[in-house]
Amino acid sequence: MRAVSNAGPLIHLARINHLHLLPALFDEVLIPVAVWQEVSPDDIDVPDLAALRQAVDAGWLRVHAVSATSGAARLQADLDPGESEAIMLAREVTADALLMGERRGRTHAQREGLPVLGTIGLLRLGRDRGLIPAAAPLLLDQLLPPRAFPSTPLER
C-alpha cells in the first residue's frame, strides 16, 4: 500500500515517538517537496524533526516532486502549499491513503474521492493491526496538551 502524507500526521507521530507505524502500515510513504520544506527547516533543531530526517535518510519516507504544479497552484487558493501538493501527489501516484489532519485539506481531498486518514485514524489502524496496544493513551497523555483548568464538574 502507498501513502502520501501532509505535515500534520508526520509531526504528530514523531512527537509521540510512533513514526515507526508508517513503514509498518504502508509499503511506501511519500511526501511532496512542500511538506518536506515545512518539516525540515535548517534553522531549528527539534527532536521531532530529527526523526523525520532519519526516516528520509533510512529511505522509507521519500520526498517526491509533484508533476502537475499548476494543479497544486490552483488548490493553493484555499490550502497551504503542503496540503495542495499532498493532494496532487496522492492523485498522481494513485495513493491508497492520503495522510492529512487539517479539515480544509481533508474536505478538498474527500471531494476528489481520495481516501484520507488523520493521526487518530493512523493510531486506530495501528491498534487494529496489533502494532500498538491502544490509541487513546497516546492521544490523551502524549499528543493533546493538558488543559489549563477543568472544563466540567467531573474533571474538577
pLDDT tens for each residue of 19-50: 999 999 999 999 999 999 888 866 555 557 78
Domain range spanning residue 97?
2-137
In this model, does residue 155 exceed pLDDT 50?
Answer: no
Number of structural domains (the chain) is 1
Alpha-carbon 22 to chain mean position? 10
In this model, does residue 8 exceed pLDDT 80?
Answer: yes
CATH number, domain with residue 117: 3.40.50.1010
Judged by phi (left if over 0) then psi (alpha if -120 to 50, else beta), residue 113 lies in: left
Residue that the C-alpha cell 509531526 belongs to = 11
Would you say residue 47 lies in a domain? yes
Would you say residue 156 lies in a domain? no
**Alpha-carbon separation of residue 103 from 76, 83, 100 (angstroms):** 15, 10, 8
In this model, does residue 11 exceed pLDDT 70?
Answer: yes
Would you say residue 154 lies in a domain? no
In this model, does residue 152 exceed pLDDT 60?
Answer: no
C-alpha Rg value of the chain to the nearest Å: 16
pLDDT tens for each residue of 49-103: 788 888 999 999 999 999 876 655 666 667 889 999 999 999 999 999 999 988 9
Residue 78 confidence (pLDDT): 76
pTM: 0.84
Question: Rounded to an integer, what distance in angstroms lies between the CA atom of residue 122 and that of residue 64?
Answer: 21
